[in-house]
Amino acid sequence: MKKVWNVAIYTRVSSDKKEQAESIPAQIESLKKWLIEKSKYDKEVVYNLEEIYEDQGFSGSNFERASFIKMKEDIELGKINMVVTRDLSRFARNYITAGYYLEDYFKQKGVRFVSVLDNVDTIDEVDDIVPFKNILNEMYIKDCSRRTRDGLKQRMLRGSSIASKPPYGYKFEKVYKGSVKNIKLVPKEDETTEVVREIFRLYIQGWGMGKIATYLNNKGIEPPSAQVKNFAKGKFGLWTNNTIRYILTNPKYAGIMVQGRWKKVSYKIKKVKTTSKDEWIIGGEFQGIISKEVFEKVQEFIKKRSKNFRHKGGNVHLFSGVLKCNECGGSMSYRARYKGYKCTNSQMGGGRCTAHSVKEEYLKEIIQNDLKKYVQKMINPKELYELAKDKVKNEDNYEKEIKKIEKELKKLDSQFEKMYMNRLEETISKRNFDNLISAIQKKQERLVNKKEEIEGIKRSFQDKEKLYVKYKDKIDKILNFEEFDRTTIESLIDKIVVSEDKDTREKIIDIYYKFRY
């Protein structure tokens, strides 16, 4: 009875570039010819080509390859009992794992392995030279990895971007110095660039990262992930705290070419880890979207807020982190029952300090009176009223805004129809279809709500005199600091120091403003 070998042809290339991809058909063709020739000489054996497995764009050191995994599944099911590959490097470049498959796994499963160009056939004992060839293969990929990293480092040092896509708000521009190509970052000067500037401006004004993300989502502005083609949108295509943080802390937005902030654990492992600052590579400066002064100011704010404004339960009260006790230098914490603040050290027992208690409303009243005096001294309300009149004259912009929204809605309708057709033709998975459709519907809802809001404002304020009165009332509220919140405190006050006379218990409040009063 003839021996039947159910053969799997296995092929692999490490990238999806055209020149490498074209080598897969060549590998398959040569292996098919080998099987035909083998069949002519081995009359007592039947070679049945069961399946061809192709892995494109996978490193030889990585065994998490789709077709390789499928081949293993078929081996487990008993469909395959012979694997043929062009040479050992096509099979693997990790000598430890390659040795495991040749010496252990294939033997246990009764699978014959053949590497044609290496003259390796496990029907005989594995040749002693095979482990050395596997080691050489791994040394090759390790050397390639080292040379690739060195080449990337040289590009980073001369200020050339090594990223596959530019950061949000930027575009790539190729610059040649002789025959050397550098890829520079240049502000796009479109909506994305303006969004970056607005993110920095809002954060300096005291907005939190979450609040900025919500604001951008409500405006229907697409996040950075939407700029990437064929990208499955994370969080249904919404801005998140992490997206805002990444932009606020990225030195590239200040025109500093910092790269190497992340790196792979090793050439064998795809996992990426963050690097320490002393490992970063700074390759010069270029035109940033925001100034270096603004960027540094934001870094100071982030550091200060992370240090001062973390409180139990996530509650940040009006003066939390700003109030200091003059006696012990400690902070003062809010006490709900007292409706004010007391020295934190006084609440810990042992007589470490006295309460230095102060009511929140009392502090608020002092600061409001201070600010009103400053406004009366420095600002002319009539000038602001005139600006309000000019604003009223420009209310015709409502119609333009409505038309812009309608245009965006038509664009989303078109995207919806295209996604639906792709699903019918099965060119997109159900999971990706559901996620993308959900994202489109959320954008449609935001735009429809925004349109209704603008139409409501337009109807409510047809009488421009009423609109002017509304603006004037708003100006008066601002000048009188009636809208007094946490943002006001963060923007205008550096610290407040509370002292207490030990005999009379009289409180002395010293307010340190961020401006000269």
Phi, psi dihedrals of residue 334, rounded to the nearest 5°:
-75, 140
What is this structure's pTM?
0.39
- Report the range of poorest mean pLDDT among 30-39, 146-155, 504-513: 146-155
Strands (E), 122-222: 170-177, 180-187
For residue 286, the SS3 value is: coil
> Residue 262 and residue 12: Cα distance in Å, rounded?
28
Secondary structure element (H or E) that encloses residue 356, with its range: none
Structure confidence at residue 233 (pLDDT): 43
What percent of the chain is predicted at pLDDT more than 90?
9
Count of beta carbons in the 10 Å neighbourhood of residue 259: 21
pLDDT at 341 over 50: yes
Q: What is the pLDDT of residues 321-337, one digit of tens each?
A: 788 888 888 888 888 88
All structural domains of the chain: 3-144 (3.40.50.1390), 170-308 (3.90.1750.20), 323-500 (no CATH)
> Residue 135 and residue 132: Cα distance in Å, rounded?
5
Strand partners, 259: 281
Structure confidence at residue 267 (pLDDT): 41
Question: How far is it between the farthest Cα atoms of the chain?
Answer: 112
Which among 60, 125, 126, 58 has a CA at the least distance from the CA of 91? 60
Mean pLDDT of the region 67-87: 92
Angle at 359 between CA 358 and CA 362, to 5 degrees: 105
Rounded to a whole number of angstroms, the CA Rg of the chain reads 34
Count of beta carbons in the 10 Å neighbourhood of residue 164: 6
Locate tokens 């789709």: which residue? 66
Strand partners, 12: 55
For residue 23, the SS3 value is: helix
User: Can you read off the two tokens belonging to residue 167?
Assistant: 């950061």
CB of 261 closer than 8 Å to CB of 275 = yes
Of residues 153 and 440, more confidence is placed in 440
Q: What is the pLDDT of residues 218-250, one digit of tens each?
A: 888 888 877 654 333 444 478 888 889 889 988
399: confidence class by pLDDT, cuts 50, 70, 90: confident
Structure confidence at residue 173 (pLDDT): 79
Of residues 391 and 57, more confidence is placed in 57
> Residue 234 and residue 207: Cα distance in Å, rounded?
24
Q: What is the pLDDT of residues 251-268, one digit of tens each?
A: 888 887 777 655 554 444
Mean pLDDT of the region 406-429: 77
The mean pLDDT of the chain is 75
> Residue 126 and residue 112: Cα distance in Å, rounded?
11
Which among 214, 280, 282 has a CA at the least distance from the CA of 254? 282
> Residue 265 and residue 241: Cα distance in Å, rounded?
26
